Amino acid sequence: MAVSDTKRIVILGKTGAGKSSVANTIFGEKLFKIGDTAKSETSVCQAKTKSVNGRSISLIDTPGFFDTDRPEEELKAEIVRCITECSPGPHAVLIVLKLERF
C-alpha cells in the first residue's frame, strides 16, 4: 500500500482525557503508552501506522492541552509540529473529551 493511501488522524484533547487509550482502542493493541495519573504521559507527538480492516491508518497522538509540566507556548509549538509533520496534512482530527459532570 502506498504511503499516500494511508489515512492520517491527529488526536487532540486535554491532558488525561484518554487520547492514547483511544488510539490503542482503534488499533486493538497497546501501541501508545498510557498513564493513570493527572500527569501527562505523552510529552512529544507519537505516530504509529497499522492496517485496520484492510486500510492503512496512521494515528498521531499529541501532548494534552493544559499539560501539567510544560509552558503553553512550548506545548502549542509541539502540537503544530505534529500536525505539520502529517504532510500533506491530516485527513481527520479526532478530539477526545473526558465525560464528566459539568
What confidence tens digit (pLDDT) does each residue in 34-89 have? 876 555 666 778 889 999 989 999 999 988 877 667 777 887 788 788 777 787 87
Which pLDDT value is given to residue 34? 84
92 domain-assigned: yes
41 domain-assigned: yes
16 domain-assigned: yes
Q: How many domains does the chain have?
A: 1
Q: Is the pLDDT of residue 3 over 60?
A: no
102 domain-assigned: no
The DSSP-derived string for 8-66 is EEEEEEBTTS-HHHHHHHHHTS--S---SSSS-S--S-EEEEEEETTEEEEEEE-PPBT
Note whether 99 and 18 are within 8 A (CB): no
Rounded mean pLDDT of 21-46? 82
Which pLDDT value is given to residue 4? 66
Bin 71: left if φ > 0, else alpha if -120 < ψ < 50, else beta.
beta
CATH code at position 91: 3.40.50.300
Q: pTM for this one?
A: 0.80
Which pLDDT value is given to residue 83? 78
67 domain-assigned: yes
Range of the domain at 7: 3-96
47 domain-assigned: yes
50 domain-assigned: yes
